[in-house]
Structure 1
Amino acid sequence: MLNSFIRFFLQNKLVAYLLLILFVGWGLITAPFDFGLQELPRDPVAVDAIPDIGENQQIIFTEWMGRSPQDVEDQITYPLTTALLGIPGVKSIRSNSMFGFSSIYVIFNDDVEFYWSRSRILEKLNSLPANTLPDGVQPTLGPDATALGQIYWYTLEGQDKDGNPTGGWDLHELRTIQDYYVRYGLTSAEGVAEVASIGGFVKEYQVDVDPDALKAYSINLEQVMYAIKESNIDVGAQTIEINLAEYFVRGLGYVQNAEDIEKSVIVVNNNVPIRIGDIAKVSIAPATRRGVLDKSGAEAVGGVVIARYGANPLEVINNVKKKIAEIEPGLPSKELRDSIFSQVKIIPFYDRTQLINETIGTLQEALSLEILITIIVVILMLLNLKSSLLVSSTLPVAVLMCFIAMKYFGVDANIVALSGIAIAIGTMVDMGIVLTESMVKRLKEAPPGEPLLESVYEATTEVASAVITAVATTVISFLPVFTMEAAEGKLFKPLAFTKTFALIASVIVAITIIPPLAHSVFSLKSGRKSLSYLYNGLAVVAGGILSYVYHPLLGGILAIVGVAGILHLLVQQYSSDRNASILSAITNIIYASTVAWLLAAVWMPLGVNKSILTNFSFIVIIAGGLIGVFYLIIHFYENILRFLLRFKILFILLVSFIVYQGFVVYQETGEEFMPALDEGSFLLMPTSMPHSGMQENIKNLRLLDMAVTAIPEVETVVGKAGRVNSALDPAPMSMYENVILYKSEYKTDENGHRVRYEYKQGEYIRNELGELIPDKNGRYFRQWRDEIKSPDDIWDEIVNATNIPGVTSAPKLQPIETR
């Protein structure tokens, strides 16, 4: 049956090419990388930095303002926890009782559908027996999101038309704008589960009762509370018809200002009304706060956008940014005392887009570098340009097919999943090499008169079953990974899936694409030498034009191919076969060197401050040395094998010693469950004394932010004490979270790409405004001090700067690690 498939695609090359076009087009549509192809629609794989390994949980959040943790535990948490125990699929229930609220975490089995579990909880909450909870207490279900959904943090700030900070806005003004305009606007963005506010002051009416007045008028607090409650209500009545027109009858009673409350009547004694204003003072004042936001030492107002469970985080962030661009022009503005125009703007201080793009970009670069290195090795080891092109060109096709499978099997693109593709590339290349080598050998040893199609078919069928068996063995070896459960399964299953997808895709390519493509490539032989000279001459001319108009490196590659082709034709025509073989080897070395130059320009293994020539020399030395060793082993393989067979005991002892040393190194190797990421930021999470008051925590938070802001490598610092208004955040006031964004090592543009600046006579040239001047032939500008070599050094500076009495130390974390 396998042989029938191979022969079908060989005899129907059009079907194979259509299949190739389908795979490439479909893969480009679903790829997580944006190749900038505007002609194709985009339906990419969901993208995030890391897999969500959190529990399958739902949160029941209940507020009971002013009550102690013990009261909350006894009258809220315990009754709700016992009532929720009978829900099907529940693995465990955890709870947390704090001042004024209760958080209950219902952990479900991993196979329980997320929204099904929410519906079961709602059913249970709606059927609670009477008097289970105190009067007026209503439990609510938390947002349909996980802690990893906190994808976008921002502050509200006043800025002028040039984007410079102006201030001039009170904290209660900004909080009102956040709660009643920004929050609702961003919540309407597609994929957003919740927008939670923090910082500033929430305005409320406060009634300060005079106890002596209460005693004088014989009024108790319940009467006062009842009067206030009943005074803030509209009353509806029937309609009345006057002159054939119908009118609605309404009693307007909603409170508009503090005076309305003061005029509310509590009781009437001897036809004399006793009003609120007689026994109390009514004012507008800030509500009690359990969360504070601070930016570089000044209090701020902001919020956090939480993505819905199962949504594509990158797509949600883009939707939020579009919504911000839509609502920002309508945000309030005013003219300050010094005639400066100030408008409220939404300023992000944590945006996971950067981390996602950097993570995906790093893996994209790694995949590209792997492919380039593979091309170099294949060219130098096979010394056959056609075979090298076959192997190298089909590798990206298999990767694109893997993206298609990821999209429709629901595997998100993250650092772990895409690592599976990177790991599988070696095996994917092996299949192409085995097939093409078999074809080249068959073509050399084919009987006279055997058709090219038959030679390719025989070569493919000879090794196809062995190739599939090898791949099947690799796939089966990953079966234990698919059986992992809980956090381990959520972390490593994506890797197992993507590696399996990549290997299966490479098998499909090897069986359906490579044989027809090889038949077409190996049959490219011109009967007329003049046409060959013409084609190669056109390649040289086109390369020169391409170098001048578009890209020098790409044009140079095309020109080199043309020149090499002409030389090869001349040697074949006017010299011996031996010289032609030597020239062919030299030509392949030139091709490999060209690819190595491209690799050096992209990779820069010795650093960006070294020239491309220095990086190219490093790659040539390393790659040439390794390949030279391989050729020596191939050349002396028979002698090496005879020596090892003669001294078997010595060889076994050597291998045993290597295994032992590997085991020793393994025991001393550090362990890390989650791979470390470079977000370009740190999260400082110290704590203060549990009983410390609001003002003490605000002072500590301000000191921390100001101390870190003074570090030259730090760009911005935003600190949070306490919790945001969300069920996902149960933090106490004594816990701080300081998001520290540090500058990139080298100055970059808005897309995160390093920029070169004009550099002459040992210094950077600046314009009249003191700004650096971009220059393609210049140097990268380093923003860190000379003694700062890595982000770890920046963290050491932060630790030294934040040694404040009354505040604990904190481990080195990044924002995404705590979600």
Structure 2
Amino acid sequence: MLEAIIKFALARRGLVMMLVLIVMGLGAWKFTQLPIDAVPDITNVQVVINTAAPGYTPLEAEQRVSFPLETAMAGMPKLSYTRSVSRYGLSQVTVVFEEGTDIYFARQLVSERLSTAKGDLPASLEPTLGPIATGLGEVFMFTVDAEPDARNSDGSPITPMDLRSAHDWIIRPQLMRVTGVAEINPIGGFKKEILVAPDPARLLAYKMRFNEVIEAIQNNNDNRGAGFIEHKGAQWLMRVPGQASTLTDLESIVIRQHQGIPVRIKDVASVSLGKELRSGAATQNGREVVMSTVFMLIGENSRTVANDVANKLEAIKTSLPDGITVTAVYNRTSLVDKTLATVQKNLLEGALLVIIVLFLFLGNIRAALLTAAVIPIAMLMTITGMVQTKTSANLMSLGALDFGLIVDGAVIIVENCMRRLSSAWRDEDSQQGELSLKERLAIVFDATREVIRPALFGVFIITAVYLPIFALSGVEGKMFHPMAITVVIALLSAMLLSITFIPAGVALLFKKPIKEKKNVVVQSALFLYKPVLALSLKLRWLVVALAVALVVCSGFLIPKLGSEFVPNLDEGDIAMHALRIPGTSLTEAIQMQKVLEPVINELPEVERVFAKTGTGEVATDPMPPSVSDNFIILKPRDEWPDPSKTKAQLVAELEAVVTPIPGNRYEFLQPIQMRFNELISGVRSEVAVKVFGDDFEQLIALGEQIGKVIGTVPGAADVGVEQTTGLPVMTIKPKREAMARYGLSIAALQDLLATALGGT
């Protein structure tokens, strides 16, 4: 089989070269489709169910929402497990599926179960699915802010409500049209609302209920179509407008008549523009802003999506009201470009070294260039394979490539062909002429056949080393499969080129006589190696004993080596988790952020600080108001006062300046690292211990004990136990006997309090 392939390559060498050019063109085209990111996406296959439950305490959210939903998800095909988070006004259930499950199939299964589970939920709640994104989905963040002393066209100052309106009505709709964007998730500012605040005293005077006011607004604030009529041969469409367009229209809505006089909304309530009861806020450099996170659709190219969003954002700026600015604060492209630049630098340096070594040892520029040509061709073939297998180009996949291994087989074949051709010209004393084409082809065929089996055997051995990696599953598999796939495709591509492209290239390039000269590099190496080899053979038992002793001594050092899953990728930025006392209000948390952020900004290495406090509109990252995610964007290292300062030293300095600020506890991670940890295990730290049981108080006590033990482990930092208690709750207990005397139901009281305190 191998001999037939070699014969075909030599006989149809022109066709082989043309096919190689086609393969290179295909690879160049596929490169434009290659997914590019900084690291492999190790997020498991999961579907998130978010349910907004306004007014529900964490306990109520768990009992009435989270538990029924988790129960409804049980028994689905390919289900791995479920987990949930229940917070004030929110339930989030994460449904994790087995690896390899199609995400759209998983979402379809969850949607079907949700349709049947809604009957077990309170009627007013509507579960929704989270965006089709992963841990690497947060590719872009931007803030919407106002210029100093900026004002609206009517002269009023620009408020956080104005910023949110500009985001929701101008920016967000246009960004959602960008290809590859799955979701735009804002946090901060206030949604504009019309606030109708009934006066209980006036309602009592007119003997009205809250529900009457609500029903009056619902029944007098809608547009309807009324079909059509035919008139004089024409068809007239009929419509009945009734939607209130101004505050005056709302105030004029009639609730009912009292003693023959219409009672309007304005008679029993005040109507004004109000603010929503928000669950999250955003700050930047000590100022409150609106922040939005752009989520990338699964499988898209993060660099392309981020660049498209950035370009679209620049175009949107021209349509914003005067005084409102949009600033990109986080762009994944920066990290991806830095990572790819590192990989590109290493690959180019490696390729250059390989070419230099080939020239030094082969002693022929044509032979060196022919062998080196395998590198770019094999790379283009590898890119085609990566696109077909949906493998992204990242630090793990590209960083594992070794050009020395790729050209290994080609070097052996080219060197042997040169030796045989030189010998043939010398033996036939034909240096003045040329070998016939038939003779050259026969020599190249024999030379290739002579070494092809050991050359391929070496490639297969190297390939076999990577095969066990494909047996890895879970997070380990997602991390290392791209590396194994890329290396195996590259080696197989190089092997195919070695038995086709290389023989054909030798036959085309080496037409004139070759004089085999003594290679100075090889001769010098032999001069140094021969005496060492002779001495080793003479003292062979001593050499073997020393080798065995060295292996044994090395074995004793293994337990002292540190170990980790993979080295941490320096993302260039810092994520600082600020935790405060449970029950801290959102207003107080914002004030604490305004104290914290200027202190961080005083560090000369820091470019900007922005933070998310609480939960955004889409609960992709549910947090209580007492928790803030601070993103610390650093300046380029050459702008640091001390460019040699390590990231660990900077984090230590940062911790030293923020620790004196009272009321905060801190955890330090990196943006992508933090998001990965949270999506995979539900917690943000790198190592977490979960305790399961039925007695919640006992679980809390055990958690505190475990935290103290872990804190004594050398190297453990930022050890903390998750905050599960301490949230202030006021409970209003109905007096059933008193309610019975007045003929009231529990539901009526609950609806009354919910409307009066939280709105409806």
Specify the alignment match of 1:434 in structure 2.
Answer: 412
Specify the alignment match of 1:278 in structure 2.
Answer: 267
Q: Is the 8 A contact 1:178 1:302 kept in 2?
A: no
Specify the alignment match of 2:656 in structure 1.
Answer: 800
1:790 to 646, 649, 659: 646
Offset at 1:103? 0.7
Specify the alignment match of 1:76 in structure 2.
Answer: 65
Q: Is the 8 A contact 1:148 1:816 kept in 2?
A: no
Distance in 2 between the 1:438 and 1:85 partners? Answer: 64
C-alpha change, 1:632 and 1:810, in structure 2 (3 Å) is: farther
Give the counterpart letter for 2:480 in structure 1: F
Offset at 1:11? 2.5
Matches within 5 A, 1:522-601: 522-524=510-512
Give the counterpart letter for 1:658 in structure 2: L
Q: Is the 8 A contact 1:206 1:283 kept in 2?
A: yes
Distance in 1 between the 2:202 and 2:535 partners? Answer: 109
Do structure 1's residue 314 and structure 2's residue 303 form an aligned pair? Answer: yes
Do structure 1's residue 669 and structure 2's residue 561 form an aligned pair? Answer: yes
SS at match of 2:313: helix
Specify the alignment match of 1:143 in structure 2.
Answer: 131
Specify the alignment match of 1:809 in structure 2.
Answer: 666
Q: Which has the higher contact order (CA 8 A, sep 6+)?
A: 2
Offset at 1:640? 2.9
Distance in 1 between the 2:643 and 2:484 partners? Answer: 42
Distance in 2 between the 1:677 and 1:787 partners? Answer: 18
Distance in 2 between the 1:256 and 1:294 partners? Answer: 33
Give the counterpart letter for 1:137 in structure 2: L
C-alpha change, 1:402 and 1:263, in structure 2 (3 Å) is: same
Give the counterpart letter for 2:472 in structure 1: M
Q: For each residue in 1:201-257, what CA deviation from the matched residue of structure 2 results, as whole angstroms up to 9, or x when unmatched?
A: 111122333222222222222223222333322344354666766555444332323
1:739 to 631, 634, 652: 631
1:520 to 508, 527, 534: 508
Distance in 1 between the 2:637 and 2:124 partners? Answer: 55
Q: For each residue in 1:154-206, what CA deviation from the matched residue of structure 2 results, as whole angstroms up to 9, or x when unmatched?
A: 0123569xxxxxx9632111100111221111111111111111111111122
Matches within 5 A, 1:120-519: 120-128=109-117, 130=119, 132-158=120-146, 169-239=158-228, 247-333=236-322, 342=323, 344-421=324-401, 424-446=402-424, 447-448=427-428, 451-519=439-507
SS at match of 1:156: strand
C-alpha change, 1:240 and 1:501, in structure 2 (3 Å) is: closer
C-alpha change, 1:111 and 1:380, in structure 2 (3 Å) is: same
Give the counterpart letter for 1:794 in structure 2: L
Give the counterpart letter for 1:484 in structure 2: L
Q: State how many pairs are aligned.
A: 658
Specify the alignment match of 2:532 in structure 1.
Answer: 640
Distance in 1 between the 2:212 and 2:317 partners? Answer: 45
Larger CA deviation: 238-247 vs 678-687: 238-247
Distance in 2 between the 1:294 and 1:662 partners? Answer: 53
Give the counterpart letter for 2:506 in structure 1: A
Distance in 1 between the 2:157 and 2:29 partners? Answer: 48
Larger CA deviation: 725-734 vs 411-420: 725-734
5+ residue gaps, structure 1: 32-42, 161-166, 334-341, 527-576, 586-626, 747-782
Offset at 1:394? 2.1
Q: For each residue in 1:298-317, what CA deviation from the matched residue of structure 2 results, as whole angstroms up to 9, or x when unmatched?
A: 11112111011122222222
Offset at 1:25? 2.1
Give the counterpart letter for 2:507 in structure 1: H
C-alpha change, 1:244 and 1:445, in structure 2 (3 Å) is: closer
Distance in 1 between the 2:558 and 2:329 partners? Answer: 40
Q: Is the 8 A contact 1:355 1:678 kept in 2?
A: no
Specify the alignment match of 1:683 in structure 2.
Answer: 575
Offset at 1:657? 3.5
Distance in 1 between the 2:20 and 2:604 partners? Answer: 53
Specify the alignment match of 1:6 in structure 2.
Answer: 6
Identity %: 31
Specify the alignment match of 2:754 in structure 1.
Answer: none
Offset at 1:671? 2.9
Offset at 1:374? 1.4
Offset at 1:91? 1.1
Distance in 1 between the 2:596 and 2:524 partners? Answer: 61
C-alpha change, 1:702 and 1:673, in structure 2 (3 Å) is: farther
C-alpha change, 1:500 and 1:280, in structure 2 (3 Å) is: same
Give the counterpart letter for 1:404 in structure 2: T
Distance in 2 between the 1:444 and 1:524 partners? Answer: 10
Q: Is the 8 A contact 1:174 1:200 kept in 2?
A: yes
C-alpha change, 1:254 and 1:664, in structure 2 (3 Å) is: farther
Q: For each residue in 1:737-793, what CA deviation from the matched residue of structure 2 results, as whole angstroms up to 9, or x when unmatched?
A: 1111111123xxxxxxxxxxxxxxxxxxxxxxxxxxxxxxxxxxxx22148533333
Distance in 1 between the 2:643 and 2:482 partners? Answer: 40
Q: Is the 8 A contact 1:96 1:102 kept in 2?
A: yes
Give the counterpart letter for 2:477 in structure 1: G
Q: Is the 8 A contact 2:136 2:672 kept in 1?
A: no
Distance in 2 between the 1:294 and 1:210 partners? Answer: 35
**TM-score, with length taken from structure 2:** 0.82
Offset at 1:391? 2.0
Distance in 1 between the 2:209 and 2:147 partners? Answer: 50
Q: For each residue in 1:14-47, what CA deviation from the matched residue of structure 2 results, as whole angstroms up to 9, or x when unmatched?
A: 112212212322222223xxxxxxxxxxx33111
Q: CA-atom RMSD, angstroms?
A: 2.6
Distance in 1 between the 2:251 and 2:459 partners? Answer: 82
Offset at 1:367? 0.5
Give the counterpart letter for 1:110 in structure 2: E
Specify the alignment match of 1:87 in structure 2.
Answer: 76
Specify the alignment match of 2:675 in structure 1.
Answer: 818
Larger CA deviation: 646-655 vs 371-380: 646-655
Larger CA deviation: 799-808 vs 347-356: 799-808
Q: For each residue in 1:501-541, what CA deviation from the matched residue of structure 2 results, as whole angstroms up to 9, or x when unmatched?
A: 11001111111111121223322569xxxxxxxxxxxxxxx
Distance in 2 between the 1:717 and 1:735 partners? Answer: 16
Larger CA deviation: 149-158 vs 349-358: 149-158
Specify the alignment match of 1:111 in structure 2.
Answer: 100
Specify the alignment match of 2:734 in structure 1.
Answer: none
Offset at 1:482? 0.6
Give the counterpart letter for 2:28 in structure 1: L
Distance in 1 between the 2:352 and 2:556 partners? Answer: 35
**TM-score, with length taken from structure 1:** 0.76
Q: Is the 8 A contact 1:59 1:727 kept in 2?
A: no
Offset at 1:680? 2.7
SS at match of 1:810: strand
5+ residue gaps, structure 2: 149-155, 677-760
SS at match of 1:138: coil
Distance in 2 between the 1:681 and 1:5 partners? Answer: 53
Give the counterpart letter for 1:185 in structure 2: Q
Distance in 2 between the 1:664 and 1:705 partners? Answer: 49
Offset at 1:659? 2.6
Q: Is the 8 A contact 2:224 2:242 kept in 1?
A: yes
C-alpha change, 1:664 and 1:171, in structure 2 (3 Å) is: farther
Distance in 2 between the 1:308 and 1:661 partners? Answer: 52
Specify the alignment match of 1:539 in structure 2.
Answer: none
